[in-house]
Amino acid sequence: MAHITEASERPILKSKVFLYVTEFFSGLSVMAAELGASRLLAPYFSSSQIVWTIIIGTIMIALALGAVFGGRWADRDPNPDKLYMRIMVAAVWISLIPLVGKYLILLISGMLIVTVSTNFLIIAAFVSCAIIFVPPLFLLGTVTAGLNKFATTSLEDNASVVGRLSACNTIGSILGTFLPTFVTIPAVGTFVSFLIFSGALLVIPLIYFISIRARRVSCAVCALIFAITSCLSPLTGFAFWENSSTLAYEGESIYNYLQVKNLSDRTILSTNVLFGVQSVTMKNQGLTGMYYDTALAAPALADHADSALILGMGTGTYARQLKQYYPDMKITGVEIDQKITDLAGRYFDEPSSIPVSTYDGRAWLAASDQTYDVIMVDAYQDITIPFQMSSTEFFTMVKGHLNPGGVMVVNMNMISDGAGSINEALTDTIASVFGERNMLTADVPSTTNRELFAKTIGEDKSTKGASDIKRDAKAIPLRSVTYMRTGSEDLKWYMNEVAERFEEVEAPGSASTILTDDKAPVEVLGMRAIDQLIAKEAGPYREILKTEGIGGLLRAVQ
């Protein structure tokens, strides 16, 4: 058998142990690269199920093609040198991803944003993933077939050899799944994680070639490239274009990419470098000019304003606003990301007197029997909308935690209207729980935010009758209640302006999309909103590209 001769000429392969070690590190690197892909793409395209589907699908295609060609190449030319050379190239490629990947993503996005009219997120994420991750994972996909060729000495133990190789690959894949998520990414970040796992993979072919005294120049070049990218990659972050004088922090948690910018009048937190701001703190007391101000209508619309729960505490901006205007209000916060809570205390002056639980908002509600006058749902990050916090079951749970006459306010990040829009689906879903007569919406000027208010029926019928959000939201009663409870002239007159922006909600129709735990296509609906936003913002540039070509487009963006 020709392949036995080839392998027997390599002393390092005789015991088969090195083959199993190779398979282990191949599986480890594949899964680590997949987890790393999600973190590399998330700051630009979100971490939605759509992006995960693209990553998994693209990588599976690469591995499948690698398996086919790897088997063919192993049968045609059973030379282990070629296999270990492919592993070395894959390792170096993966090590270059943290240095080059972010530039490729922005280049691809910039090209597509002025040429693609629909499904931008899908296309941009797919092209980025295909260019960055398919080549190295295709090469790693050839490993198992080649190793099987070299490890098999007879048909009598062929199945046992395949089983051991499969076990080594699986064990490596398990570690490659858990280590990045729970150890390396939280500890040292995505970029260094790529370097750790690519470096571990690179050691295998280096040991192989050094042991047989071959490919010394190739080994030296690959080691040099790895050393260079190891030095340069950590020096720039995901948002490498940001002014270093204003960028106070850039890092990662288990859940998010995190960026804190310290501007002259405010401090802001972003979890996505392309889709805006998730939290802000103004350096001067007063109104923020953002959606938090409009959401301050909630305690004025409620029958009482003694307690509040914030699901999606973030850096505590809404809690600070409530404390400023309602100092006696008892406030509780829930935030799933402990790193954000840590940043809130470090950069955003989050009041230490407000308890914050590190928990998923819905799971926290399920474990609590407390009720509140105001519940703020602020857990939607652009198109990354947790489906479990968008369904009728969730809003029924929120309603059950409101006191009689209590108000829920939901921050809907994107103003996306019309049939099939995410806001229509969310509004109809909430209306199916609270009733459309007990709901109002208010768009926030100069932003893409919309606040939705929903009220439960109160009990104070002797003096006011049943709670009526539409009556309470009119300018005069809203101003009066606000001033009576806060004593603030500024907030009183701001509520007068909010009253003018209130819009009534229509009853859900027979064709309405009601989101449930079983069916909540929030990623697809959110993607449509992104397409609408891109079409609006990129429309002028697309017209320039069409009429003046690339030269005109380059002049326009300078």
513 contact partners, CB below 8 Å, separation of at least 6: 420, 424, 425, 428, 429, 525
Beta bridge partners of 250: 259
Candidates 303, 378, 382, 428; catalytic one = 378
Concatenated DSSP letters for 486-544? H--HHHHHHHHHHHHHEEE-PPP-TT-----SS---HHHHHHHHHHHHHHHHHHHHHHH
248 sits in which H/E element: strand 247-252
Tokens of 80: 């282990």
Judge contact between 351 and 323, C-beta under 8 A.
yes
Judge contact between 481 and 392, C-beta under 8 A.
no
Where residue 405 falls (left for φ over 0; alpha for ψ -120 to 50; beta otherwise) is left
Task: Output DSSP code: residue 545.
Answer: H
CA atoms of 263 and 340, how far apart (whole Å): 19
Beta bridge partners of 451: 411, 442
Asked about 378 being catalytic, the answer comes back as: yes
153 contact partners, CB below 8 Å, separation of at least 6: 4
Active-site residues, by number, are 378
